[in-house]
Amino acid sequence: MNLKSLINDIPKPIRLFLGKALLVFIIWKLVYGLFLSDSRLLDSPLTTHVANASVFVLNGLGDMSGFTSKTELSTYIEGEGLVTQKASKIYHYDKLVLYIADICNGLELMVLYIGFIVCMPSRFWRKVKYVIIGVILIDFINILRCTGLIYLREYYHAYFDFAHHYLFKAAVYTATFLMWMVYARKISLKKDEVV
């Protein structure tokens, strides 16, 4: 059995989806890597927004107050080297409680979600509706994740690492998967609606 026959054994709709997904992935990585990563055109405002929104939520929760966010230069380890870039830091009465790097702003997950929606067959306006609603929900969930992490770091520090590395990541990815499921379950495969 050769590769061509293996590929031909895959149903055509799945081959189309995988081909579109690969193309979207390559285009995103090229555009992000060549134009957006160093300029922080998307990352900077999104990271700042997540920090500011988290502070807003925390300061509005009952007796909690004194949270502020600042954009500052930070150095961290990435791979085998040190990286220095602007990041959002959240302080509670001038004590650093959370550092939000660009990799934590939800952009990659939003792009992954959008890519899935774009690659699935459906009407154009339905895709637009699900992309807008999904991106807003992912952003909201990410803000709640950061808020929860700050709360844990301040009041239940022993649970912070577990929540940061496992619990909240699982919650965010599960929510995204459920949004994909809702979208995929209601796809109409009528000939005039397939895009």
- The reported pTM is 0.83
Between residues 13 and 195, the one the model is more confident about: 13
CA distance 86 to 137: 26
Strands 67-78 and 95-100: unpaired
Q: What is the pLDDT of residues 168-183, one digit of tens each?
A: 999 999 999 999 999 9
Q: What is the pLDDT of residue 142?
A: 95
Average of per-residue pLDDT across 64-68: 88
Residue type for position 122: S
CA distance 195 to 189: 10
User: Over 70: is that where the pLDDT of 135 sits?
Assistant: yes
pLDDT band at residue 191, thresholds of 50, 70 and 90? very low
